């Protein structure tokens, strides 16, 4: 599906009855974030277009769009699928698209060049950037953007999503982790004693934010996969002050440089993070020195609320449940783990816990799956806990998982495996604060866990069980079940 730009995507959502324009005045300070959280928490929200923001009723930018990926029907529309496509169907399509490539093309100019701001004209406070949560350390403008960096060796362009708040009117203190793709790019510039060029793209087709937070291998450019999803190359233009390329029809592009010199660091954090807790405590962080802003006429700012809680979803949690499962399934295939029949990342935990359904063929196959996932680059902030179940367990049904955990897991038989001291999310509050300092360690510290809830293949087949390792279940035989089903209304039951 090609929507052309953010405005085309918004128009499509409106056509499908999936857009709510909010004309009532809303305060950028906490109220806008609270409205957003309440609206999207159930995972069924339309896109939200705030058109009357306090202190921004006129001027450079007057509107903010959020809720772009607030429910699964939006993801289905992005892929060109029916709006009622199942989660497994979405994962399978994402799996295939993540393997495909349509490289971008460079064009001379585009709408994002309609306005070019440099020098004293740069002022990030002219955009209606929310303070999303009351305890946030500032106004976060980078919450649903694509941050563009380049590998100085290969020239590969990376599109990532990393949080950043307004420091001064021309600076963006950001949380930079060395284990993330832009952190790996940054390390190469730092080793050369150079600043790293950065461009933050705010507002384009939905493939931009979707791919920006998808953990592709470091050598793959998200632009190539964005082209595959939309079925056409992404049209890019050169930036004004940095050697990078950005979508020609983006709403806003913030260009700048980021230095390894601690003298350039600014205070950043905390922020209401995807874990559902405030994280990344206030402290000195790397800061983007803004050298230019380009934007369309009457640009639309785009942002997203973070922080998943029980029965309270976010755009990140909805997207992660598709992205992380698709990437994991591809990792398992590439590692040669056979028999995978489904993979699921529940939205509530943003892919931190993953369920793998498989047809077990040999002893140790579940451990092979867990080790393959943990050894991949995509595991940096995900796959902390891996569940593996047999194909008779529906991994989208927590009652089924709980039943398997109760009756197929015996810790004394090696069904629970712990691997301590691995890399992990620096934002996970279950890790002691001193072990998740991004400047000292570059990443967090996790103890990863495998829960093997498959039937234990070390058990001997028993004659009394008909040659099976486990006794038969109490599920009625098919003939008995079908006979009762056929006569169901005769017993007085309704459908």
Identify the CA nearest to 350 among candidates 312, 391, 388.
312
Q: Summarize the confidence of residues 93-110 as an average pLDDT.
A: 97
Q: Summarize the confidence of residues 221-250 as an average pLDDT.
A: 98
The Cα 117–Cα 104 span in angstroms is: 26
Specify the higher pLDDT residue, 123 or 441: 123
Q: How far is CA 387 from the centre of its chain?
A: 20
Q: Summarize the confidence of residues 423-441 as an average pLDDT.
A: 88
Interval 442-480: pLDDT, tens? 888 999 999 999 999 988 888 888 888 898 889 899 999
- Place 143 in a pLDDT band, splitting at 50, 70 and 90: very high
Residue 314: CB atoms within 10 A of its CB come to 27
Q: Summarize the confidence of residues 266-294 as an average pLDDT.
A: 94
Q: In whole angstroms, how far apart are CA 448 and each of 141, 385, 410, 494?
A: 33, 6, 18, 48
Q: 296: Cβ–Cβ under 8 A, 6 or more apart, which residues?
A: 111, 112, 114, 115, 249, 250, 251, 252
The Cα 112–Cα 229 span in angstroms is: 22
Q: What percent of the chain shows pLDDT beyond 90?
A: 88
In the predicted structure, residue 248 carries a pLDDT above the cut 80: yes
Instruction: Give residue 472's pLDDT.
Output: 87
Instruction: Give residue 287's pLDDT.
Output: 98
Instruction: Give residue 344's pLDDT.
Output: 97
Interval 331-386: pLDDT, tens? 999 999 999 999 999 999 989 999 999 999 999 999 999 999 999 988 988 999 99
The top-scoring range by mean pLDDT among 194-208, 271-285, 309-323 is 194-208
Q: What is the pTM of this model?
A: 0.93
Q: How far is CA 266 from the centre of its chain?
A: 26
Q: Write the secondary structure of 337-382 as one string of H (helix), E (strand) and C (coil).
A: CCCEEEEECCHHHCCCEEEEEECCCCCCHHHHHHHHHHCCHHHCCC
Asked if 308 and 272 count as a contact pair (C-beta separation under 8 A), the reply is no
Q: Summarize the confidence of residues 232-252 as an average pLDDT.
A: 98
- Place 180 in a pLDDT band, splitting at 50, 70 and 90: confident
Instruction: Give residue 318's pLDDT.
Output: 95
- Place 252 in a pLDDT band, splitting at 50, 70 and 90: very high
Taking phi over 0 as left and psi of -120 to 50 as alpha, with beta for the rest, 258 belongs to beta
Instruction: Give residue 352's pLDDT.
Output: 94
Q: Which of 40-44, 115-119, 403-407 has the lowest mean pLDDT?
A: 40-44
Instruction: Give residue 178's pLDDT.
Output: 83
Beta strands in 189-234 (DSSP E): 196-202
The Cα 293–Cα 141 span in angstroms is: 13
Peptide bond into 270 cis (omega under 30): yes
Residue 151 token pair: 């590998």
| CB-based burial, 114-142: b 16+ in 10 Å, e otherwise | ebebeeeebebebbbbbbbbeebbbbbbb
Identify the CA nearest to 204 among candidates 9, 492, 406, 385.
9
| Strands 340-344 and 353-358, sheet pairing | antiparallel
The Cα 103–Cα 223 span in angstroms is: 7
Question: Residue length, the chain?
Answer: 495
Nearest-10 Cα torsion for 455, 459, 462, 468: 30
Instruction: Give residue 385's pLDDT.
Output: 97
| Strands 105-106 and 235-238, sheet pairing | parallel
Q: What is the DSSP letter of 309?
A: B
Give me the residue label for tokens 């937070």: 213
| Runs of H (alpha helix) within 131-221 | 181-191, 207-212
Instruction: Give residue 35's pLDDT.
Output: 97
Instruction: Give residue 445's pLDDT.
Output: 93
Instruction: Give residue 463's pLDDT.
Output: 85
Domains along the chain with CATH numbers: 315-453 (3.40.1670.10)
- Place 239 in a pLDDT band, splitting at 50, 70 and 90: very high
Instruction: Give residue 1's pLDDT.
Output: 80
| CB-based burial, 151-188: b 16+ in 10 Å, e otherwise | bbeeebbbbbbbbbbbbeebbbbbbbbbbbbbbbbbee
From the number of C-beta atoms within 10 Å of its C-beta (0-12, 13-18, 19+), residue 300 rates as buried
3-class secondary structure, 294: strand
In the predicted structure, residue 495 carries a pLDDT above the cut 80: no
Identify the CA nearest to 162 among candidates 135, 181, 143, 140.
143
Identify the CA nearest to 389 among candidates 305, 454, 312.
454
The Cα 209–Cα 429 span in angstroms is: 25
Q: What percent of the chain shows pLDDT beyond 70?
A: 100
The Cα 53–Cα 58 span in angstroms is: 9
Q: 384: Cβ–Cβ under 8 A, 6 or more apart, which residues?
A: 352, 353, 424, 425, 428, 446, 448, 449
Q: Measure the CA angle with vertex 304, ends 324 and 138; round to 5°.
A: 120
The Cα 177–Cα 188 span in angstroms is: 14
In the predicted structure, residue 281 carries a pLDDT above the cut 90: no
Can you name the residues that pair with 157 across neighbouring β-strands? 150
What rounded mean pLDDT belongs to the chain? 95
Asked if 307 and 317 count as a contact pair (C-beta separation under 8 A), the reply is no
Q: Summarize the confidence of residues 263-286 as an average pLDDT.
A: 93
Instruction: Give residue 465's pLDDT.
Output: 82
């Amino acid at each position: 599906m090609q929507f052309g730009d953010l405005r085309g995507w918004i128009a499509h959502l409106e056509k499908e009855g999936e857009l709510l324009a909010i004309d009532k005045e809303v305060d950028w300070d906490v109220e806008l974030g609270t409205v957003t959280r309440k609206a999207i928490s159930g995972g069924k929200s339309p896109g939200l277009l705030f058109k009357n923001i306090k202190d921004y009723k006129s001027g450079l930018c007057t509107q903010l769009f959020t809720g772009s990926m607030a429910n699964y029907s939006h993801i289905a529309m992005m892929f060109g699928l029916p709006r009622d496509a199942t989660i497994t169907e979405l994962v399978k399509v994402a799996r295939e698209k993540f393997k495909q490539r349509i490289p971008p093309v460079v064009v001379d100019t585009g709408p994002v060049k309609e306005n070019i701001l440099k020098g004293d004209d740069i002022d990030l406070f002219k955009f209606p950037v929310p303070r999303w949560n009351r305890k946030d350390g500032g106004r976060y403008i980078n919450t649903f953007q694509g941050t563009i960096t380049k590998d100085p060796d290969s020239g590969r362009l990376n599109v990532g999503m990393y949080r950043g708040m307004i420091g001064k009117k021309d600076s963006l203190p950001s949380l930079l982790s060395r284990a993330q793709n832009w952190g790996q790019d940054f390390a190469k510039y730092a080793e050369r004693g150079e600043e790293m060029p950065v461009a933050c793209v705010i507002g384009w087709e939905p493939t931009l934010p979707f791919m920006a937070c998808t953990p592709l291998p470091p050598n793959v450019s998200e632009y190539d996969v964005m082209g595959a999803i939309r079925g056409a190359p992404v049209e890019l233009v050169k930036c004004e002050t940095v050697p990078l390329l950005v979508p020609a029809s983006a709403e806003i592009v913030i260009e700048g440089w980021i230095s390894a010199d601690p003298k350039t660091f600014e205070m950043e954090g905390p922020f209401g993070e995807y874990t559902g807790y405030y994280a990344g405590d206030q402290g000195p962080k790397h800061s983007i020195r803004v050298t230019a802003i380009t934007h369309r006429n009457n640009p639309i700012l785009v942002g997203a609320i973070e922080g998943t809680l029980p029965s309270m979803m976010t755009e990140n949690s909805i997207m992660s449940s598709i992205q992380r499962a698709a990437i994991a399934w591809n990792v398992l295939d590439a590692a040669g783990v056979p028999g995978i029949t489904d993979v699921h990342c529940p939205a509530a935990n943003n892919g931190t816990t993953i369920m793998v359904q498989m047809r077990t063929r040999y002893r140790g196959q579940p451990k092979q799956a867990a080790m393959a996932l943990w050894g991949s680059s995509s595991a940096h902030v995900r796959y902390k806990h891996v569940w593996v179940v047999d194909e008779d367990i529906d991994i989208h049904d927590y009652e089924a998982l709980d039943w398997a955990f109760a009756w197929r897991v015996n810790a004394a038989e090696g069904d629970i495996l712990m691997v301590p001291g691995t890399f992990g999310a620096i934002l996970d509050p279950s890790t002691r604060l001193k072990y998740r300092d991004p400047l000292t360690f570059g990443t967090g510290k996790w103890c990863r866990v495998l829960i093997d809830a498959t039937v234990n293949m070390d058990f001997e087949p028993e004659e009394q069980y008909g040659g099976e390792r486990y006794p038969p279940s109490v599920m009625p035989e098919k003939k008995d079940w079908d006979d009762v089903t056929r006569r169901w209304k005769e017993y007085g039951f309704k459908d």
